[in-house]
Structure 1
Amino acid sequence: MIQYLCVERFADFTINKALSSGILPRDRVTFLSYEQMFHERQVPAGTYVFTDFDRLTRYELECASEAWRILQRHSGMGLMLNAPHRVLERVALLQALHRARINNYGVWRIGDGILPDRYPVFIRSEDDCAGPETDLIPNEYALMHTIALLQERGTPLRGRIAVEYCAERHMDGYFRKYGAFKIGKTILPHHVHFSPHWIVKAANARRDAVNDDPGKISLPSHEREELDYVMENPHHRELETIFQIASIDFGRIDYSIVGGRIQVYEINTNPTLPSAGRPGAAPHRQITRERFKAAFLALEPYPLPQSALIPIDLAKPQRQDMRAPRANGITT
């Protein structure tokens, strides 16, 4: 059995949706919460996919890492994906990619009093997937003013980062954001989102697609471009290198192409998974669903016996609750 580990209250948006819609079969894949693993102290043998690190406190992350090491010793034929003590979350990842000269843009923790040396920037939380909390900030004076306004309305600076703007509008007037999964050894291109705004999220991409604006190009041309991306997997070599730097075996990378080069925005280890088809959905969505299912089930091609239970005897006493995300975590 493939065990998908994440924080319980966020499972309905990810793994439970894939299980309930039939994208992943319940006889091969199951959801196991960190709460269950920490407090029940024994789990079945199998393949384990660890996710959701940005939503764990530092203590919980240490417990997850200890559990991963215990399971690895008893894994047998099962795989272990995403070692909690090795995975780079948002800030550490972006800084590593900048040092590797993959990302051109910088990121700074403003809660530490570290100010950018390049502009424009925007401010966001480092451990959620909500996106920018401000418009583009052109210079240090405007940044200090923005920080003062955030503090006046009671917004803590701890856990907030300034991110250098890095995006590029294409000839058709649209920005693009690509999304691809890493599932074990497989790089699986999934989508391209288009928006006339530099903040390209799935929600505003869908909204822009239905707006009646004669200045926008036709949706079919975008569909064809997305289909080509899905079928050709044009960036798989570069993405494999990036996932290796991140020490991530399972997750979805969000990135763009700026100046002809990949620019990574994040790798989410507990991402939204492909969902059941809806009426009118683009035909290639069925292709991505089938490919995702095949790659995920290939993590454990021959289901292991479920009789064996592995004790998770953590050295530290267990807390009775799972708290909110780490304020100084690093990422979705």
Structure 2
Amino acid sequence: MLTTASHLCLEDFLAARGAAFAPHLVPLPYATAFRLHKLPQGTYIFADLERLSGPELSQAGWLWDQLARRGDGVQLLNHPTQVKQRFELLRTLHTQGLNDFDVYRLDEQRVPARFPVFVRSEQEHNAVASGLLPDAPALADFLQRRRSAGHNVCGSIITEFCGEPDERGLYRRYAAFKVGQRIIPTDIFFGHGWEVRGMARTFVVDEDTLAAETAFLHGNPHEAELREVFATARIDYGRVDYGVVGGRIQVYEINTNPYVAASPLGGERRAALYEHFCRHFLDALTSLNNQHSTLLLSIKPQPAEKRADVRKWIKQTLYNALWNSGPSHSYAQRLRHIRQLMVRARQVMPSMQKRLVRRAEPKTVLEKMP
């Protein structure tokens, strides 16, 4: 699985419930892959695409093409340059009538057709940047305050709110994976607030929510609609987060590098639900796992820009060592050791950087940032 170096989102799962599959799934940072001369045959999942820059997406597309020429010995998921990113996907789903809400970029100079709205990052998966903004003046005031506080709003998108509470007054966030050809219901998170997050203090677990989740996981009621959504997004591996409003699913995002917990969120009351998902998830991953060959695929790497940042060089060297050591049952332990080394590297970086600056020619005086 190709990811950015800082987002190995299956690490906890592979070190715990998914440990038996860990030898078959090796997170490979894109920066490492771009520099390798050879890669083994097998299945490659291009994940974390929403966190790649434009040039990095182009490099990933080039790598896809190189691997695709190797024939049946290689299976590829999530074409980097064909997957629809968050804004394009949500706008397309609205245009096609699959979503009832629209999204807007700040440079479009368009006022949302309906309110309330909220503002969030176009790439990140963390919490939204604003609360619900009831009208156009409130939106303009929020954006002005963000700019005045020194925040860059260029990477933000405005989203029309589309959600509704159930008969108990709880909001629901549904989630489902696509792994190859399989749609796997993941969970339903319940909360009192309009933004439902699994780690939030408002995450509700009781007999009613457990019954609803059980019916969802066993019934897979939205499979047909979700297949259409994933086909529109051109995504083969990822997790869709969505709601149901007025009897219609409303897609909020698809994450191509979703986090999978090492144990059930919400406590042991959800253990049976977590185990149900894990079995199906691991079975789907296993079905993707080709018979690995010792044959290495010769690849001519693209030229890479020289990096002056020693911390990046140290980090990349460590991940190269992880990859070249090959998959094994001790993967999680070795990854923890690498992170410990990275912590130590950050501690010694200031003195190393001072020495490099003193030796650098020609010397340049830099203004201190405020």
Q: Where on the TM-score scale, by shorter chain, does this alignment land: which range?
A: 0.7 to 0.9
Residue 156 (structure 1) aligned to one of 144, 152, 157: 152
Residue type matched to 1:304 in 2?
H
Residue 126 (structure 2) aligned to one of 124, 130, 134: 130
SS at match of 2:35: helix
Cα distance in structure 1, aligned partners of 2:224 and 2:142: 40
SS at match of 2:55: helix
Cα distance in structure 1, aligned partners of 2:60 and 2:102: 30
Aligned to 1:101: 97
Q: Structure 2-normalised TM-score?
A: 0.79
Cα distance in structure 2, aligned partners of 1:298 and 1:57: 31
Matches within 5 A, 1:44-123: 44-123=40-119
Residue type matched to 2:5 in 1?
E
Identity %: 31
Residue 11 (structure 2) aligned to one of 11, 16, 22: 16
Cα distance in structure 1, aligned partners of 2:247 and 2:104: 25
- Stretches of structure 1 that go unaligned for 5 or more consecutive residues are 210-217, 323-332
Query: Do 2:41 and 2:73's aligned partners in 1 also have CA atoms closer than 8 Å?
Result: no
Residue type matched to 2:95 in 1?
R
Matches within 5 A, 1:232-251: 232-251=219-238
Cα distance in structure 2, aligned partners of 1:164 and 1:121: 4
Cα distance in structure 2, aligned partners of 1:67 and 1:319: 20
- Stretches of structure 2 that go unaligned for 5 or more consecutive residues are 313-370
The structure, 1 or 2, with the larger RCO (C-alpha pairs under 8 Å, 6+ apart) is 1
SS at match of 1:169: coil
1:179-232, CA deviations, whole angstroms, 9 ceiling, x for partnerless residues?
Answer: 00000000000100001111011112x5443xxxxxxxx701100110110000
Matches within 5 A, 1:183-222: 183-204=179-200, 207-209=202-204, 219-222=206-209
Larger radius of gyration: 2
Residue type matched to 1:18 in 2?
F
1:72-114, CA deviations, whole angstroms, 9 ceiling, x for partnerless residues?
Answer: 1114233110000110010000011001100000100114544
Cα deviation, residue 29, structure 1: 1.8
Segment of structure 1 superposing worse, 116-125 or 94-103: 116-125
Residue 281 (structure 2) aligned to one of 257, 268, 292: 292
Query: Do 1:38 and 1:318's aligned partners in 2 also have CA atoms closer than 8 Å?
Result: no
Cα distance in structure 2, aligned partners of 1:184 and 1:100: 24
Cα deviation, residue 238, structure 1: 0.5
Query: Do 1:122 and 1:137's aligned partners in 2 also have CA atoms closer than 8 Å?
Result: yes
Query: Do 1:87 and 1:248's aligned partners in 2 also have CA atoms closer than 8 Å?
Result: yes
Structure 1 residues 208 and 30, CA, compared in 2 at 3 Å: closer, same or farther? closer
Residue 29 (structure 1) aligned to one of 25, 28, 44: 25
Residue type matched to 2:220 in 1?
N
Cα distance in structure 1, aligned partners of 2:190 and 2:207: 12
Cα deviation, residue 316, structure 1: 4.6
Structure 1 residues 319 and 264, CA, compared in 2 at 3 Å: closer, same or farther? farther
Cα distance in structure 2, aligned partners of 1:153 and 1:65: 37
Larger % of helix: which? Answer: 2
Cα deviation, residue 115, structure 1: 3.2
Q: Structure 1-normalised TM-score?
A: 0.87
- Is 2:336 the counterpart of 1:311? no
Cα distance in structure 2, aligned partners of 1:43 and 1:189: 33
Query: Do 2:172 and 2:188's aligned partners in 1 also have CA atoms closer than 8 Å?
Result: yes
- Is 2:244 the counterpart of 1:257? yes
